Amino acid sequence: MQPREKLRQTLENVQGTALVAFLTAGYPKPETFLDLLREISATADVVELGVPFTDPMADGVTIQRSSQSALRQGVTLKWIFDQLESCNFELTSPMLLMSYMNPLLAFGLESLVSRMRNTGVSGLIVPDLPYEESDILKSELNAQGLALVQMVTPATPKPRLKKLCLASDGFVYAVTRAGITGGGSNLPEDLAQYLQGVKSLAKLPVCAGFGVRDAAQVKLIGKHADGVIIGSALVEVLEKGKSVGQFLSALRPE
């Protein structure tokens, strides 16, 4: 089975609301990366690995801090692949990379796709890659059965929303609010209408994220989406030295 199909099927087969958990690779310490990855994979349905970058324009201050810390400690895209290659356990959840385009271009697209396939990475989320400029990367990923997940927002016009939903692989990433990750604790009042609109156009599972922090929000979003993406709140748990496994388990509606 192609990795992008496995990603889609994993989300479709979850009983209830799927959890997609974001981890900045190499944070808080590079030496704990694989242990954290295993812990998160055991609880979340999909793992999203953030590639540290100097100018993460879509990320709020929490993820920016974690990214800067990882960079200072020498974490690079090559380091991430090397760590995944040395992994001596099998991850129970599909894994994605979330990266800005610059690190991917610097690595080389052919080498990128080869190492993704060889290390069990199912696909990419690239916040600063416009759909109109994605053909070269998408063709490389398609050749290996890997996913390029498209992001949509409440401000996306309906014709473009339809185009992005049809172009996405694995799932559609529905940003719940305009702006950056983290943000305030309140979700938009028209969230249900927005997510239902995305669902009506998508032929894949829809996972919603940006600003999700607690079980009540997961339950609310889960009424209108197939999955919920947890990012800044999980990084904050790491900052406080608490258990990410316990935090993720507590997010699942009873």
The pTM for the full model equals 0.92
- Report residues of the chain scoring pLDDT below 70: 56, 58, 177-189, 253-254
* C-alpha pair distances (Å), 21 with each of 104, 158, 163, 208, 232: 21, 28, 26, 12, 10
Give me the pLDDT at residue 185, please: 46
64-120 pLDDT, tens digit each: 899 999 999 999 999 999 999 999 888 889 999 999 999 999 999 999 999 999 999
Catalytic position from the list 45, 59, 169, 226 = 59
Give me the pLDDT at residue 210, please: 81
133 classed as catalytic: no
The sign of the torsion formed by the CA atoms of 95, 51, 147, 213 equals: positive
Domains of the chain in start order, with CATH, are 3-8+17-148+211-247 (3.20.20.70)
Catalytic position from the list 5, 39, 45, 48 = 48
Give me the pLDDT at residue 60, please: 77
59 classed as catalytic: yes
Report the C-alpha dihedral over residues 208, 213, 215, 217, rounded to 10 degrees: -50
Strand stretches in the chain, DSSP E: 18-24, 46-50, 95-98, 121-125, 147-149, 151-152, 172-175, 206-209, 227-230
Q: Cα(13)–Cα(110) distance, rounded to whole angstroms?
A: 32
Give me the pLDDT at residue 6, please: 96
Give me the pLDDT at residue 58, please: 66
Q: Cα(121)–Cα(4) distance, rounded to whole angstroms?
A: 10
Q: How many CA atoms lie within 13 A of 46 on its CB side?
A: 39
Give me the pLDDT at residue 188, please: 60
